[in-house]
Structure formats: structure tokens, C-alpha cells
Homo-oligomer: A and B are copies of this chain.
């Protein structure tokens, strides 16, 4: 393996953070925009987001939600209403104070002092309050429930330190908001959406996740229950990839979401909210990427197969393109993973080797190169991005099926790659979760002695609350650790709490996190 010259300038094992930046830049996913904290999502990165959107939107609609659109701007007074202790309130948000630019008389522009807004507007950091207002208008009777809405939107949270896809001032997300007649129905729905996220992550993104409940101190402000899906990155850190909240009647009371019950009398609705964002793309990169760049799971790859004719700028090119187009047409007429195969015949000008490596770094699942000799022999050169190297020889692991065989087998290969990426990630994750550590000292020792990328530990605790929990959180924080979640499907606790020695009630994951 040492003789392999990888396509990225940085290796994961040397500097994971630098590798992540290189994978994004060289995979043509995104770049700095010049606007503080905001990125430009380039076509390949945005294409992946479009695929995630399409697949998740289908799942959200299949569970009975309608999409709607709510204003970008939220009046400042909505936040006064929300902040139950306004005195301590300080939030990083973009605030619009003026509605006009004028010339400053010195050749520049300034916000027009005569166009100051009476009430400043905040660029939405989330749409809880404005959707709550709409729900209060739309819900009158039990007949209007459940009300199940979703919004795809951009949101802004002013961030001091940003990292592409993981933490940016502006990001793209979906936020679901539902209102129900009963607590039971709302709690069920919170878990239904958690399961939608789990299935989307594992089936579409090939991202193995642990679905579970966040401990009390990690709840969304105002939530009664907060659930998450947590994924392990290749540096062993956890990434919270999606959350689903049961909000009780707290938000219904703040917004006035009330209904006439079927049995008479006025009741507050029980609400939920849940969201995932472009952060998922960061998770995909850090889970599937390797030292040659991205590896995009076929289900969410904008192009699943890229065909590269090795053009020479002469008269033979037309026949070569024609030969390639035959394969393209064959593949486009077939299905893989339940959808028509997305195949690109890339005839853009450029050196063949450079084009090949561009697609390797972008992580197209299957790359098919075709030179003049391939055409003469009736074959193509096929590269699986997830099996790029022949480990024995240190050379590219290319196959040479006939064009006909390639046309028949590639759809199945795409399914194989989707599965292989998931299995690889799940096996790595499972191999990097330590179980059986039964003391706090054991936890400290584990993270001190397991190298740069130690992974997670599963421990047992007695579910501390209030002050006791705060002490645990402080203890963890000193080690740069966090509690991730309490898995939904864990085997019951059978030991003692590593913090108090009491009989344990739950298993929880402890990890460093993004």
C-alpha cells in the first residue's frame, strides 16, 4: 500500500481536519464565498443535496406532511415572547435594521438613516415562532388535527468559527412542524420522524446511525423530549445528524395553538418539530471519504456512472463518442436501486487522466474509461470508486468487461457499492465502540490511551437529572467529552452507574463530537 500515490494532498491519518478541507475543495463540493461564514455550494455538492432532498421529501410526504413556505424575516418581538428569561438573552442572529441603501456623498453606500425599520427583523434561525403563529390561525377544531407541515429553507445562525457543511452562518435544511390532539399521538409522531431519519441516513446515505434520546441537558429549549440520530466519523468523533423533538404543549401555549375538542372544551395542541440540514453532507464526506477524495453512495450521487471517452482531438473521436453513447443509452434505459440509472457521457475538453482523477476525487461511484483500443476490442475500462486500488500491486483496480457485459452488470454494481459503503462504515463504527468500561477512570483511560481517533464508549448510568447531571456534564467537558444519546433499542442496563455507583438504568454513548 505504501507505493500508492493517493489523489489528495493530505491523508486522513495525518490531519483529519486538513483532509476534510482538501476533500471538499478537491471534490469540488463547496468553497468560501467571501461573505463571512457563508459558503458557495458548488454543482457537485448541491447535486448531492438535491438528491437528499428528493429522497427525504418523498419520505416526508409519504408520512402525510405537506410542504409550505414561511417568511425569511421574523419580527424581533417574537423572540421577546419566546425568551422566557429575556434578561439573560443573547443570541447570535443576523438583524435587519434598514430597508434602503443610499449614497454617502463620498462615493460609497450606507444604510439610509431615514429608512430605519420601526421594529428590527431577524433572519430566521428556525421558524418555530412564525409557524406557530400560522398554526394558531389554522387550527380551530379537532377536525384540523393533526396538522403536519414541512418547510425546505435557508436559515442563519451567526457563527464565530465556521467549518464547511458542519457549521456555517447560513445553511439549508428542512424543518418539520406538526400539531396533534394528544400527547400520545405527538410522541408517536416524534418517533415516526426519528425512524424516517434513521432509514434515510442508513438506506439513502449509507450512514449507519444510532437513534436514541438525548439527555435532559441536550434538549432543544422548550422541548419535553429530544431524540437524535448519531453517526461516527472516521476520526472517531460523533456527528449529530438529525433531531426530532416532542414539544408538549409548551410551544402551543406560547403561540396560542388551541382547538375545540371533539368531546367539547378548548385544548392546547401537542406539537413536534424535527430537522436535518446540509450538515448531513459533512457527515457523508467524513464517513465515506478516503485518501483519494469523496466516495458518494450511489443513491445520492448526482451521476452514478461517468463515461470518459479518451478523446484525442482527431477524426477518430466521433466513432469513440458513438461507442460510448451506446453504453450510455443502454444504462439510461435501466434501473438501479429503484430509479433510472443516472449516467453522464463526459465529452468536455481536457486531458483524460486529469478528468479521471477529477471524477475519482468527486467520488462518482463508477467510472468507465474508453480508449481507442478498448473500442477495437469491444471492451471498456471499468473502475469502482469503492475499490479503487489493487492492494497487492498498488495499481488502479480496473476491469475490462465487454461493452455489453458492462451495460448489463453496472446497475447491479451500483447496488453492491451502496451496500458495501454501508457495511464498511457500520463495521468500522462497531469496531470503534468500546463496551464493558464500568468506571469513570476507565473512560478517561480509554480516551487517553487509544490514539488520535479513539472512538466511542458505551457506558451505563443512573440517568442523573438537575444538579447531578450538571456535575456529570462538567466532568465530561473537562475531557472534551459529551453524552450522545440513549439508544432506542439498547439491551437493558445491568451494571452500575459509572458516575455514582448506583444501579444503572440506561446505556449511553460517550464521545467527542462535532
Contacts and interface: CB of A to CB of B under 8 A. Distances in A.
Interface string A124-160: 0000001001100100001100000100011010100
B99 A98 contact: no
Contacts of A158: 99-100
B149 A38 contact: no
Contacts of A66: 43, 46-47
Contacts of A172: 69
Range of interface residues on A (Cβ < 8 Å): 35 or more
Contacts of A111: 95, 97, 120
Contacts of A220: none
A143 B108 contact: no
Interface string A399-435: 0000000000000000000000000000000000000
A62 interface: no
Interface of A: 31, 33-35, 38-43, 46-47, 49-50, 66-76, 79-80, 83, 86-103, 105, 107-112, 115, 120-123, 130, 133-134, 137, 142-143, 149, 153-154, 156, 158, 170, 172, 348-350
Which 6 pairs show the lowest CB-CB distances between chains A and B?
A43-B66, A38-B71, A41-B69, A95-B98, A99-B158, A143-B349
Given A41-B70, A71-B170, 16 more contacts: A34-B75, A34-B130, A43-B67, A43-B68, A43-B149, A46-B67, A46-B69, A79-B101, A86-B107, A88-B103, A91-B101, A94-B96, A95-B100, A95-B111, A100-B158, A111-B120
28 contacts: A34-B133, A35-B71, A38-B71, A38-B72, A40-B68, A43-B149, A47-B67, A69-B172, A72-B123, A72-B154, A72-B156, A76-B101, A76-B109, A79-B101, A86-B103, A86-B107, A87-B103, A87-B105, A87-B107, A89-B102, A89-B103, A89-B109, A94-B96, A94-B98, A95-B97, A96-B97, A97-B97, A143-B349
